[in-house]
Structure 1
Amino acid sequence: MANGLHHVTAISGPARRNLDFYTRVLGLRLVKRTVNFDDPGTYHLYYGDEAGAPGTILTFFPWDNVAPGRVGIGETQETAFRVPQGAIGYWTHRFIAAGVPHEAPARVFGETVLPFRDPDGMALALVGVPGAEAEPAWTGGDVPAEHAIRGFHGVTLLLREDGPTARILTDVFGLTETGREGALARFSGDAGRGGHVTLRAVGEFLRGRPGGGSVHHIAFRAADDAAQAAMVRRLTEAHGVQVTEQRDRNYFRSVYFREPGGVLFEIATDSPGFAVDEAAAHLGEALKLPGFLEPHRGEIERVLPALA
């Protein structure tokens, strides 16, 4: 079983600006255009590698006039992608040319990290990973294959204390503590892509406020329903954590809970994947709706902003 992230879901401003940045500037593939099942007047856009494989998927709820979020405790502080180690120079020049706000590369846990921000101020990073060039990547965009993003490296969570969250990561999700640097504690799985969760413990601090540029939730992988159910049992019986009922998201099945530090976690199944309702060669080309919303397609399409 691969232990690590399935996807990360965030909040953004205008959908067209979001689409342009993640597909054109970062070179990710739009693997699904659908709607927020709980708010169908809003898109839910999924970006990833060619297949939208678990561990590569960054998704957004875009709202035109969203207020900016504020990063604080109980939130994801940074979402990091993995790129080949030799690609950091290429990406630095690319960000300069595109006017992308970024910082100088730094060394964290022995890896070269290039922090940057998207148009909504979302904190992102590229991490140079030896051997990542051998991993699959979407090459249908503007970024040459040798430099392309290879999915997630991991996320950094900002917390008051890291102990209770660390116990969930190790006992429920099977991650292992692999290093500490100052206030940072890193936990890693065997997934490669999406395999790292870093906890930054800062004590008393402002709580986060959701909005544009903030992460709504992070999702961990479960191979199937049985694996997900086993995680739920462990959460409730060993950790006293309350978990939602399973919800069908068409492309995976999900349960949700607040971990002890306040971050919204999801457990998502690897199956059935994004090719369940459109051919792999045409992922993301058409608006896809779940069956219960299909009778309202005309009304929904009238409300949604144009993406092209």
Structure 2
Amino acid sequence: MRTPIVGLHHVTAIASDPQRNLDFYTQVLGLRFVKKTVNFDDPETYHFYFGDDTGTPGTILTFFPWPGTPQGRRGAGETIATAFSIPVGSLPYWRKRLVSKGVATEENVYFGGAHLSFSDPDGMVLELVEHTEAQAVAAPRYSDVPAQYAIQGFFGTTLLELSLMRTESLLSMMGYRKLGEEGDRFRYAPDGDARGRILDIVVDKDAQQGRMGAGTVHHIAFRASDDASQLDWKQELGRNVSVTPVQDRTYFHSIYFREPGGVLFEIATDSPGFLIDEPIESLGEALRIPEWFEPQRKLIESRVQPITLHKAEKAVANESEATL
């Protein structure tokens, strides 16, 4: 029997400037730089991973930062918003923090919950949603965001589709059930209380097609508990969609497929995780490349853009932070 999908493993997006991307997600959002590696399909460019202190599945936002890549266009067949979970009561802190960093925000209410919306430097739409998580994560140790306000991982994602029926059918097969609908927005989730379980679909039959580029989401990945579970899902999904062979991504194993509306989905294993090649204290600080690229390390290091990781001391909530 297949192990159920419980929610997101990671989300992967496209950025243009590596240093700007690194600074925004570590210094503005306070995420940890979990891994600095390379794009396995384009090893002369980076692949960045951000998340909680150890890179727990369900907290990981990754980027292909391609210098000079043109702006993408959000549209049908794409993920149009990525939502993070924040502790209940922390929304005022984040409103104040984002404004202080020069980030414009707006607030929307979906299914009774406030979504604080803003964009990263490439225009990728992000949201913060207050939510009580059943499983705590370790707040990033090198961040000036106090632990009681720190991002807890994903809340969910929003897809834009021209129609609903075929995508909804695939989600149902994956264990996602409809929780409700509001106008053209439909909400789904699997059973359980794992982080990153919410998936919204906005339906607009007149939407233009999306175009990949800076500020767009490349794919979203769902969790498989282990290799055996992933293979079970590969067999099951293969009855309905075209699924790739298993890909070794060093820190997890992956299979990819497109849902009927065009969004690229992945199923990634929880293991082996991000601590297999460097200690937790210095996680993300050295360039890590897969062993099959090691003979090319000097060339790779000469081609990728130099970056600087600015590490803040662990925050202690002072009076100005506590008085919101």
Q: TM-score over 0.5 for the alignment?
A: yes
Distance 1:191 1:36, change over 3 A: farther
Whichever residue aligns with residue 129 of structure 2, its letter is V
- Percent sequence identity is 51
Whichever residue aligns with residue 20 of structure 2, its letter is R
Q: 2: CA distance between counterparts of 1:165 and 1:70?
A: 21
In the other structure, the counterpart of 1:226 is 228
User: Residue 133 of structure 2 contacts residue 195 of structure 2 at CA under 8 Å; is this kept in 1?
Assistant: no
In the other structure, the counterpart of 1:53 is 56
Q: Deviations over 1:149-197 (max 9, x none)?
A: 000000000001122112222212x222111111111111224311111
User: Residue 161 of structure 1 contacts residue 261 of structure 1 at CA under 8 Å; is this kept in 2?
Assistant: yes
1:99 is aligned, of 85, 99, 102, to 102
In the other structure, the counterpart of 1:307 is 307
Whichever residue aligns with residue 51 of structure 1, its letter is T
In the other structure, the counterpart of 1:177 is 178
Q: 1: CA distance between counterparts of 2:134 and 2:231?
A: 32
In the other structure, the counterpart of 2:264 is 264
Q: 1: CA distance between counterparts of 2:98 and 2:39?
A: 30
User: Residue 35 of structure 1 contacts residue 43 of structure 1 at CA under 8 Å; is this kept in 2?
Assistant: yes
Q: Deviations over 1:78-99 (max 9, x none)?
A: 0000001211111111111100
1:119 is aligned, of 104, 118, 121, to 121
Instruction: Report how far residue 133 of structure 1 moved.
Output: 9.7
**1:35 lines up with 2:34 in the alignment:** no
Aligned pairs for 1:46-85 within 5 A: 46-85=49-88
User: Residue 5 of structure 2 contacts residue 222 of structure 2 at CA under 8 Å; is this kept in 1?
Assistant: no
Q: 2: CA distance between counterparts of 1:229 and 1:261?
A: 24
In the other structure, the counterpart of 2:284 is 284
In the other structure, the counterpart of 1:243 is 243
Whichever residue aligns with residue 142 of structure 1, its letter is D
Instruction: Report how far residue 39 of structure 1 moved.
Output: 0.5
Provide the secondary structure at the position in 2 that maps to 1:275.
Answer: coil
TM-score by length of structure 2 reads 0.91
Whichever residue aligns with residue 84 of structure 1, its letter is P
Runs of 4+ in 1 over 4 A off after TM superposition: 131-135
In the other structure, the counterpart of 1:188 is 189
Q: 2: CA distance between counterparts of 1:179 and 1:193?
A: 19
Whichever residue aligns with residue 65 of structure 1, its letter is G
**1:162 lines up with 2:164 in the alignment:** yes
Q: Deviations over 1:81-132 (max 9, x none)?
A: 00012111111111111001221x2321111110000000000100011467
Unaligned 5+ runs, structure 2 = 309-324
Provide the secondary structure at the position in 1 that maps to 2:299.
Answer: helix
Instruction: Report how far residue 140 of structure 1 moved.
Output: 2.8
Q: 1: CA distance between counterparts of 2:176 and 2:144?
A: 35
Distance 1:132 1:18, change over 3 A: farther
Distance 1:132 1:108, change over 3 A: farther
Whichever residue aligns with residue 87 of structure 1, its letter is S
Provide the secondary structure at the position in 2 that maps to 1:86.
Answer: coil
Stretch moving more, 183-192 or 66-75? 183-192
User: Residue 139 of structure 1 contacts residue 148 of structure 1 at CA under 8 Å; is this kept in 2?
Assistant: no
In the other structure, the counterpart of 2:273 is 273
Whichever residue aligns with residue 85 of structure 2, its letter is R
Q: 2: CA distance between counterparts of 1:127 and 1:139?
A: 22
Q: 2: CA distance between counterparts of 1:235 and 1:204?
A: 29
Instruction: Report how far residue 139 of structure 1 moved.
Output: 4.2
User: Residue 115 of structure 2 contacts residue 128 of structure 2 at CA under 8 Å; is this kept in 1?
Assistant: yes
Q: Aligned-residue CA RMSD in angstroms?
A: 1.4
Whichever residue aligns with residue 209 of structure 2, its letter is R
Stretch moving more, 123-132 or 290-299? 123-132
Instruction: Report how far residue 279 of structure 1 moved.
Output: 1.4
In the other structure, the counterpart of 2:314 is none
Whichever residue aligns with residue 242 of structure 1, its letter is S
Provide the secondary structure at the position in 2 that maps to 1:274.
Answer: coil
Stretch moving more, 136-145 or 117-126? 136-145
Unaligned 5+ runs, structure 1 = none
Q: 1: CA distance between counterparts of 2:61 and 2:71?
A: 19
Q: Deviations over 1:17-64 (max 9, x none)?
A: 000000000000000000001101110000000110110000000012
Instruction: Report how far residue 138 of structure 1 moved.
Output: 2.2
Whichever residue aligns with residue 121 of structure 1, its letter is G
Aligned residues: 304
